[in-house]
């Protein structure tokens, strides 16, 4: 899901519209990092993506793949193996922000998600920021 299918000027009206769109979200326990990033990469002219997430990929290709430790390891590996080459092919930097990973997941699962976000940022020329 994207707010607009093309890049937009940061006018007061567009900012308000984008904020209203984001504020309309409600959490539903799915984190489709690859699916969302793919949609963002399809926007003509995109140069940078800001990826805010709890960092534990559990959905790709539109399907839920679980949150056990082994599932998260697989999900994160699949996600970064797709995101990094797709972004670098288009010369798009991805800056990642991991939000309160340890608040939602056991340390081992949170660590896998955090490492995926660090790898995506490093692999695309972006930065990783931990947000608590």
Annotated domain spans of the chain: 30-38+46-131
Confidence check: pLDDT of 129 > 80: yes
In this prediction, residue 25 carries a pLDDT of 80
**Which H or E element spans position 90?**
none
Q: For 34-70, what is each residue's pLDDT tens digit?
A: 999 999 999 999 999 999 987 688 888 888 888 888 9
What mean pLDDT is predicted for residues 11-37? Answer: 88
- Lookup: tokens for 38: 């793919």
Going by pLDDT thresholds of 50, 70 and 90, the confidence category of residue 86 is very high
Going by pLDDT thresholds of 50, 70 and 90, the confidence category of residue 20 is very high
* Rounded-to-10 torsion of CA 24, 51, 4, 14: 70
- Which residue matches tokens 């699949």? 78
The upper half-sphere exposure of residue 73, i.e. CA atoms within 13 Å in the direction of its Cβ, equals: 4
| Better pLDDT: 93 or 61 | 93
Sign of CA dihedral 103, 113, 88, 78: negative
- Which residue matches tokens 């309309």? 24
For residues 57-70, one letter each, b for 16 or more C-beta atoms within 10 angstroms of the residue's C-beta and e for the rest, the string is: bbbbeeeebebeee
What mean pLDDT is predicted for residues 80-97? Answer: 97
Going by pLDDT thresholds of 50, 70 and 90, the confidence category of residue 100 is confident
β-pairing, 48-53 vs 128-131, is unpaired
* Rounded-to-10 torsion of CA 70, 71, 74, 76: -110
What mean pLDDT is predicted for residues 18-44? Answer: 87
């Amino acid at each position: 899901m994207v707010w607009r299918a093309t890049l937009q000027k940061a006018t007061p009206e567009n900012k308000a519209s984008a904020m209203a769109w984001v504020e309309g979200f409600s959490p539903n326990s799915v984190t489709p990092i690859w699916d969302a990033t793919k949609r963002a990469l399809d926007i003509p002219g995109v140069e940078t993506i800001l990826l805010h997430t709890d960092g534990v990929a559990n959905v790709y290709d539109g399907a839920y793949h679980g949150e056990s430790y082994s599932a998260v390891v697989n999900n994160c590996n699949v996600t970064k193996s797709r995101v990094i080459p797709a972004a670098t092919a288009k010369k798009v930097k991805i800056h990642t922000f991991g939000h309160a990973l340890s608040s939602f997941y056991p340390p081992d699962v949170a660590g896998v998600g955090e490492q995926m976000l660090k790898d995506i940022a490093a692999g695309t020329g972006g930065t990783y920021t931990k947000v608590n």
